[in-house]
Amino acid sequence: MTLSATGTAARTVTDVFQPRNVLLVGMLAIGWAAAGHWSGLLWGFLGALCAGLIPAGYIEWERGRGTWGDRHVVDRTKRAPIFFVILGSIGTGSLVMVLGHAPRGILLAMLALWVMTVGLLAVNTVWKISVDSAVASAVVALLAVVHSPWWLAAYAMTVAVCWSRVALRYHTVAQTVAGASLGAATAAAALLM
């Protein structure tokens, strides 16, 4: 691949597998598995809305106001508000799920994503960690927990996300590995519950 072809491929991977997209597909599948029938899709959509779509909407709103240049928010010092929006949105969605008697699996997924976001916020205060890698890893691990260990094969997607973030120079290898590790660890903690 030439450098421009590599850049195009990296941009495609990072855009297709951005957190909102991974969370939309992943949370729908987690909700389906947790409930065992179609009503789980509704819980999954609520999870995707709160964990991915609302935060992505907030980022786009701030971009429109000129706060950030693009959805990647490469300056880590400007990321804290995003994490607080994510925490509030996941917390609100989780409360609705508890009150609505959502299946345990989707509640554990929301808890894992909330804990992961706390970890991302904490690390981000001193070092830039890859949110895209963390989300890709967490969703794959959570799918393996609620569906089947065969979902671990989807870590190929996580590796592709890590590669794209490094190729685009948004992160170092260490920052993507740290993000992916945090995502996997919080999902594993959910399994232990």
Q: Print pLDDT tens along the chain (193 aa).
A: 455 888 899 999 999 999 999 999 999 999 999 998 899 999 999 999 999 999 999 999 999 898 877 777 878 888 899 999 999 999 999 999 999 999 999 999 999 999 999 999 999 999 999 999 999 999 999 999 888 889 999 999 999 999 999 999 999 999 999 999 999 999 888 777 6
* Helix then strand then coil, % of the chain, to nearest 5: 80, 0, 20
Exposure string of 81-97, with b = 16+ CB inside 10 Å and e = fewer, is ebbebbbebbeebbeeb
